[in-house]
Amino acid sequence: MADEWFELATADHFWIKWRHSVLLSQLKRAHFCGELGLDVGCGHGLVASMVERDLGIRIDGCDLHRDALRRAERGKGRLLLYNMFDRNPEMLRAYDLLLLMDVIEHVEDDLEFIRVSLEHLKPGGIIAINVPAHMKLHSRYDEVAGHKRRYSVRNIRMLFSKTNVTPINIAQWGMLLLPALLLRKVILNLTPAERTISAGFVPANPFVRRVLETLHHIETCIPFSPPLGTSILATGRLGHTVPT
């Protein structure tokens, strides 16, 4: 992830709040009742702190980005400079919840990364994955942000199938943002490269921010998942063995 993103991604950003509300809804639907989670690729710890705040559980966060970890505020859980492929025995099969919030799109081999991450989850534990949706929405923003790909629902089902995860729900969200992302593709083609992240992630002015926050409230009040979206948030339950 581009370093600049960690400065711009704050708890009051409309997209961060939107993703968090979808995550809480999906964990409720999954009847999650665990006590310990692991936020993989936690960056500056924003997801972990928000989940700890609203679910009252402990979330450990791990990343390889030292500067991002230094930005993180201490919560209930640990902040770890940790490579999942190191397979620390104390962390294997230790967690009730595994969070991969906008992580796997940055990884070359997403399937292998999910497999090794799942080794840290207890059998029967819950995994939650959020990813950008639909390659047709791919833009310069994705390139600068380090996205290797965007996903379809079918892609996520295949990843779950190959990793012994039973899907609970695979929900698209951000349907009302589709016009904004299409407009963003055009605007970024006219924007200097060094301003790609800020121009693509931060609302242009307070009025635009209010409009986007209103879209968030409208969509999250709909009692069903939208048929399309700009992101996908999927939850699943790990079986009793992790395929190798």
* 65 secondary structure, DSSP code: -
Higher pLDDT, 45 or 5: 45
Q: Are 167 and 157 in contact (CB under 8 A)?
A: yes
pTM attached to this predicted model: 0.93
Q: What is the pLDDT of residue 244?
A: 46
Domain ranges of the chain: 3-238
Q: At 95, is the pLDDT very low, low, confident or very high (cuts 50, 70, 90)?
A: very high
For residue 214 the two structure tokens come to: 């209103």
- pLDDT tens, 128-153? 999 999 999 999 999 999 999 999 99
Structure tokens at 186: 């055009």
Degrees to nearest 5, angle at CA 168 with 165 and 172 = 110
Helix H or strand E segment including 223: none
Of 32, 24, 13, the C-alpha closest to 53 is: 24
CB 183 within 8 A of CB 208: no
At residue 204, the pLDDT reads: 78
Residue given tokens 């992830």 in the structure block: 1
**109: Cα separation from own chain's centroid:** 17
Cα–Cα distance list, 178 to 10, 22, 62, 107, 187 (Å) = 22, 17, 32, 25, 14
52 has a pLDDT exceeding 70: yes
The SS3 assignment for 73 reads: coil
- In percent, the amount of the chain with pLDDT more than 70 equals 97
Select from 3.40.50.300, 3.40.1390.30, 3.40.50.150, 3.30.450.20 the CATH code of 3-238.
3.40.50.150
**Six-digit token pair at 69?**
């970890």
